[in-house]
Amino acid sequence: MSLIQETLEPIQTSFEQPTYSSKDFQSNQDVRWCPGCGDYSILAQTQRIFPDFGVPKHNVVFVSGIGCSSRFPYYMNTYGFHSIHGRAPSIATGIKIARPELSVWVVTGDGDGMSIGGNHLIHTLRRNVNLKILLFNNQIYGLTKGQYSPTSEYGKVTKSTPLGSVDHPFNPLLLALGAEASFVARTLDRDTKHMQMILKRAHNFCGTTFIEIYQNCNVFNNGAFFQFTEKESKDDNVLLLEHGKPMVFGKEKNKGIKLDGFTPKVVSLDGTNSVNDLLVHNEKDSVLAFILANFNAMEGMPRPIGIFRAIERPTYEKDIERQIENAVVKEKGSFNNLIQSGQTWIIK
Amino acid sequence: MKELLQKEDITIRFAGDSGDGMQLTGMQFTSTTALLGNDLSTLPDYPAEIRAPAGTLFGVSGFQIHFGSTEIYTPGDVCDVLVAMNPAALKVNLNGLIDGGTIIANSDSFDDKNLSLASYNSNPLEDGSLSKYKLHVINISKLTSLTLSDTQLTSKEIDRCKNFFALGLMYWMYNRPLEPTIEWMQEKFKKTPKYVDANIKVLKAGFNYGDITEIFTVRYDVQPAKLEPGNYRSVTGNEAVALGLIAASEKSKLGLFLGSYPITPASDILHELSYYKNFRVKTFQAEDEIAAITSSIGASFAGALAITTTSGPGLALKGEALGLAVMTELPLVIINVQRGGPSTGLPTKTEQSDLLQSLYGRHGESPVCVIAAKTPSDCFYTVYEACRIATKFMVPVILLSDGYIANGSEPWNFPLIEDLSDININFRTEKDGFFPYLRDEKTLARPWAIPGTPNLEHRIGGLEKQQVTGNVSYDAQNHDYMVRLRQNKIEKIAEDIPLAEIDGKESGKLLLVSWGGTYGAAKTAVNNKRKENKYISHLHLKYINPFQKNVGEILKKFDKILVPELNLGQLSKVLKHTFFVNTISLTKVEGQPFKSIEIENKIDELLK
Ligand code: SF4
């Protein structure tokens, strides 16, 4: 019998439901973002919603790369790993494969995740490792003091583009959908309830979840998303996606989205069109998710927030576990058997 | 009855097109020879192209085996027999054949097209240019197809069997049994019995050809070597690495995690470990070299025995992440199977040119432990030692192998799990007095507190750490302290490893210092010189960072220090600046291991 038998089983973790408050998730480290930064709200919503998950905090790991957002793990009183630029998805993948029972979260930014770490991000999404990825998109490099990022708009004037950027930006959600991410969502730093709801859905989803969070960098790119977050403008510019519900928006709830062939159009609900004519959101419809993610590039369309796509498929780490369990059931490995398999001979 | 002559050792080189199955033929000859109890060493030598154009000089694939009734440390400087399946194979390998050596040539492939591809103006089999060799011209292709004329195989399938004719003939010439290869065929082709039958037929035809025809009048026998008693198997360096990792996982009771990106000549370790699911090995074929190492760092943080495998260019890509592993003080084993560089270089050829990269090729002060394996079977013990050091000291360890020992094989008196030393792992679970960077006094290792452990929640990362608490610290004094501490920790390893042992006298005129795969040629050179009563001492270094504690003392007791390396003198440089000694470099970067004669010549020159 092999030693390995008892010892390489997944480490047992306690399963009794802990009762936590948001305070339990606050570490003793001083939070060091600029005053007014959107990151504060994201941290607060995360700490607020985590007690609802019922996961023991010692089973939670936050992994980040480099950038303002990547300081996040220091402030969560869980296990944490502030790693190197762009590599958080890979570090998190290693953690999750080694220990599938852990709840592993990745915090990244538009520079970290879309630029230097773009390769790791897309491959993590296609593999469907059960990681929760939060991409703080502020469309600027904050930590290095204000260069344009891969999500900055064309023509953006920054320190490294004094005459305006000639870089065409990424649309993070289209990239994620293109990588066939199973769960793709967008939320806003200022919409606390919505963000909590999205985080909770992400937690409950089995598979990689990719959440783009519009985050205001009030120092280097103030107001980049104000039209979607501020009271005066948000209702007319934001479309709240709800599964099974028609796509209605506007301050007076008098506008909606209708499909004309494959082209989405804004219509007013003024008698010629009724709610019944509108597109109905469906998280299971990939084609629809692409259409919605493309609104960014279409003049006059509202910006959708919510869950664009949520379609479960087997996760990478569970598939690995399954192959292992099948192999172990067949024949549990023993070094002594292995080394003597094949041709051996004795010399006396 | 033909004459049977006894030989002490023999070197055979099988050479042909990369599609001719020369590697397979060589490996079969090797297994059979190992079973007979000979000591042996092999050198597979193949092109980077998977299916190089047929008949070309650069498409030649060779496999050399040196076997004997005495201890064998190298694949042989020159070969006694060259099996050339086509003109290109003859041309490329002829200068490695000893004067008066035997050539077995497949005359069927010496047609105009192949002769011109090999840049022969006239047919060397006919023009007398090979008169100083024992030339045996055999129409192997034709004989193979005659043997299989009554089968249903296509002419293409028949042609693929011809290597077994050559193998059968070699078995006859060197008095080896056919049974091990026949058994192997029955297993290998069990799904297509027609191949089993055909291959066996051709193998026997080759054997009988030697026996019946008048061409060969003598055959040779090489008696078993006087090897240490024990259980033996043959092993390549890459197989030995995989087995060593399995052993370390079983012994340490840690789950094994391998993050890797395919790269020649390291990929076989990934392949091998991917089969061992029943050992709960988790292999992750990452999207690139960076993800390969960072996933391993993640797995290490999570409590796995974490490994990443690569070759030179891949190690360069891993450099940044290695800095993170140094900073976070996590155990990690990085296996670098060196090849010819820089850049894509000579991907299938051997070199030892990543030593300085391994020692110094990173940003900041980031010392890691570096150890090197010397032979295929030594890869097993070295990787096991790497795992022990990494987990005991909470440090990254780079293991240097090379293309030569990774693909070469030798008989191995293998251990069982109970023969191996313990690898004790203590995950931190105690809450009281826990600080992520509070250290063990002896090893300076920080605690390994893995996620999932209640009450030990903590954060690590690439920013400088405050000693003890592990909090981020930009304090100047603290940084200075931590940089020195990380260096100290690596130096402390010297107290945990055995002293270096010198082969020969402890002082004298000449000390030969070798590292890695150069061991075999160095050892052979030393033995040969001793037979001539030229007495020199030999020091082989397994541990390169840190060096064993007595290395400096040993070096200082010799007038001259000769360091042969497959690079431009990297270890030599390190020895010079570490120990302030004069070293003499013998260097070679031809993608091939040293021949012992090359070292012997240098020794003669220095002893003059
Ligand atoms: S630079 Fe911008 S993103 Fe960074 S902390 Fe300050 S406000 Fe936030």
ipTM summary value: 0.95
What are the residue ranges of CATH 3.40.920.10 in chain B? 3-221
Q: What is the pTM of this model?
A: 0.94
**Best mutation site among B277, B326, B463 for testing chain A: the one with the most A CBs within 10 Å?**
B277
Considering the domain architecture, whether residues A115 and A56 belong to the same structural domain is answered as yes
Q: Which positions in chain B touch A82 (Cβ < 8 Å)?
A: 459-463
Mean local confidence (pLDDT), A152-173? 96
The tokens of A220 are what? Answer: 């280097």
Considering the domain architecture, whether residues A255 and A304 belong to the same structural domain is answered as no
pLDDT at A299 over 70: yes
Alpha helices in chain A (DSSP H): 4-7, 39-53, 72-75, 88-98, 110-111, 118-127, 172-178, 192-204, 226-229, 231-237, 286-293, 316-330, 335-340
Task: Round the average pLDDT of chain B to a whole number and report it.
Answer: 96
Window 61-120 of A, Cβ < 8 Å to B: 61, 63, 66, 73-74, 77-84, 87, 90-99, 101-102, 119-120
pLDDT band at A7 (very low <50, low <70, confident <90, very high): very low
Q: Tell me whether residues A83 and B224 touch, CB distance under 8 A.
A: no
A41 is a domain residue: yes
Helix (H, G, I), strand (E, B) or coil at B224: coil
Q: Which positions in chain A touch B417 (Cβ < 8 Å)?
A: 3, 334-336
The dihedral over CA atoms of A239, A240, A241, A243, expressed in degrees to the nearest 10, equals: -140
Number of helical H runs and strand E runs in chain A: 13, 12
pLDDT at B18 over 90: no
What pLDDT was estimated at residue A4? 37
**Best mutation site among A95, A119, A127, A344 for testing chain B: the one with the most B CBs within 10 Å?**
A95
Q: Which atom of ligand 1 is nearest to the CA of A138?
A: 3
- The CATH architecture one would assign to domain B502-607 is 3-Layer(aba) Sandwich (3.40)
Considering the domain architecture, whether residues A164 and A136 belong to the same structural domain is answered as yes
CB B314 within 8 A of CB B398: no
pLDDT digits (tens, 9 = 90+) for A184-239: 999 999 999 999 999 999 999 999 999 999 999 999 999 999 999 999 999 999 99
Q: Is A57 on the interface with B (CB under 8 A)?
A: yes
A158 is a domain residue: yes
Considering the domain architecture, whether residues A62 and A121 belong to the same structural domain is answered as yes
Cis peptide before B415 (omega within 30 of 0): no
* Euclidean distance between CA atoms B340 and B329, whole angstroms: 31
Structural fold of domain B3-221: Pyruvate-ferredoxin Oxidoreductase; domain 3 (3.40.920)
- Protein residue closest via CA to atom 1 of ligand 1: A142
What are the residue ranges of CATH 3.40.50.970 in chain B? 233-419
Q: Tell me whether residues B417 and A83 touch, CB distance under 8 A.
A: no
Considering the domain architecture, whether residues A145 and A256 belong to the same structural domain is answered as no
* Euclidean distance between CA atoms A205 and A49, whole angstroms: 15
Window 117-156 of A, Cβ < 8 Å to B: 119-120, 123
Q: Tell me whether residues A347 and B321 touch, CB distance under 8 A.
A: no
Give the CATH number, domain containing residue A116.
3.40.50.970
The tokens of B446 are what? Answer: 């920080």
Q: Which of A110, A136, A138 to mutate to test the pocket of ligand 1 (most atoms within 8 A of CB)?
A: A138
Q: Which of B251, B282, B455 sits opposite A320 (nearest CB)?
A: B282
Helix (H, G, I), strand (E, B) or coil at A340: helix
CB B299 within 8 A of CB B307: no
Considering the domain architecture, whether residues A227 and A118 belong to the same structural domain is answered as yes
- Protein residue closest via CA to atom 2 of ligand 1: A217
* Euclidean distance between CA atoms B198 and B103, whole angstroms: 26
Q: How far is A80 from chain B (nearest CA, A)?
A: 4
Q: Is A158 on the interface with B (CB under 8 A)?
A: no
Considering the domain architecture, whether residues A91 and A182 belong to the same structural domain is answered as yes
Mean local confidence (pLDDT), A100-123? 97
**E strand map for B359-445:** 369-372, 396-402, 409-413
Q: Tell me whether residues A74 and B459 touch, CB distance under 8 A.
A: yes
Q: Is A32 on the interface with B (CB under 8 A)?
A: no
A261 is a domain residue: yes
Residue labelled with tokens 């769960």: A183
* Euclidean distance between CA atoms B81 and B100, whole angstroms: 10
SS3 content of chain B, % helix, strand, coil (to 5): 40, 25, 40
Residue labelled with tokens 């664009």: A308
pLDDT band at B47 (very low <50, low <70, confident <90, very high): confident
Q: Which positions in chain B touch A81 (Cβ < 8 Å)?
A: 298, 301, 328, 459-461
A7 is a domain residue: no
A16 is a domain residue: no
A330 is a domain residue: no
SS3 content of chain A, % helix, strand, coil (to 5): 35, 20, 45
Q: Which of A31, A190, A217 to mutate to test the pocket of ligand 1 (most atoms within 8 A of CB)?
A: A217
Task: Give me the half-sphere count of Cα atoms (radius 13 Å) on the Cβ side of residue B13.
Answer: 29
Helix (H, G, I), strand (E, B) or coil at B105: strand
What dotted CATH number matches B233-419?
3.40.50.970
Residue labelled with tokens 């001492």: B537
Q: How big is the CA angle at A104 (ends A99 and A109), to the nearest 5 degrees?
A: 140
Considering the domain architecture, whether residues A268 and A206 belong to the same structural domain is answered as no
**Domain ranges, residue A271:** 246-279
pLDDT digits (tens, 9 = 90+) for B398-449: 999 999 999 999 999 999 999 999 999 999 999 999 999 999 999 999 999 9
Distance of CA B229 to the CA centre of its chain: 24
A218 is a domain residue: yes
Residue labelled with tokens 């004790």: B424
What pLDDT was estimated at residue A8? 42
What pLDDT was estimated at residue A15? 54
Considering the domain architecture, whether residues A310 and A262 belong to the same structural domain is answered as no
The tokens of A228 are what? Answer: 């979607």
Q: Which positions in chain A touch B37 (Cβ < 8 Å)?
A: 345, 347
Q: Which atom of ligand 1 is nearest to the CA of A145?
A: 1
Distance of CA B206 to the CA centre of its chain: 32
Mean local confidence (pLDDT), B365-391? 98
A230 is a domain residue: yes
B560 phi, psi to nearest 5 deg: -130, 145
The kind and range of the H/E element at B258 are strand B256-260
Mean local confidence (pLDDT), B450-456? 98
Domain count, chain A: 2
pLDDT digits (tens, 9 = 90+) for B457-473: 999 999 999 999 999 99
Q: Which positions in chain A touch B276 (Cβ < 8 Å)?
A: 333, 338
Q: Tell me whether residues B306 and A99 touch, CB distance under 8 A.
A: no
* Euclidean distance between CA atoms A180 and A174, whole angstroms: 10
Considering the domain architecture, whether residues A100 and A175 belong to the same structural domain is answered as yes
Considering the domain architecture, whether residues A134 and A168 belong to the same structural domain is answered as yes
Residues having CB within 6 Å of any atom of ligand 1: A 33-34, 37, 39, 68, 138, 142, 217-220
Helix (H, G, I), strand (E, B) or coil at B459: strand
The dihedral over CA atoms of B64, B68, B74, B76, expressed in degrees to the nearest 10, equals: -50
Q: Which residue of B has its CA nearest to A104?
A: B451
Considering the domain architecture, whether residues A215 and A230 belong to the same structural domain is answered as yes
CB B567 within 8 A of CB B517: no
What pLDDT was estimated at residue B487? 98
CB B388 within 8 A of CB B421: yes
Q: Which positions in chain A touch B415 (Cβ < 8 Å)?
A: 339
B335 phi, psi to nearest 5 deg: -105, 120
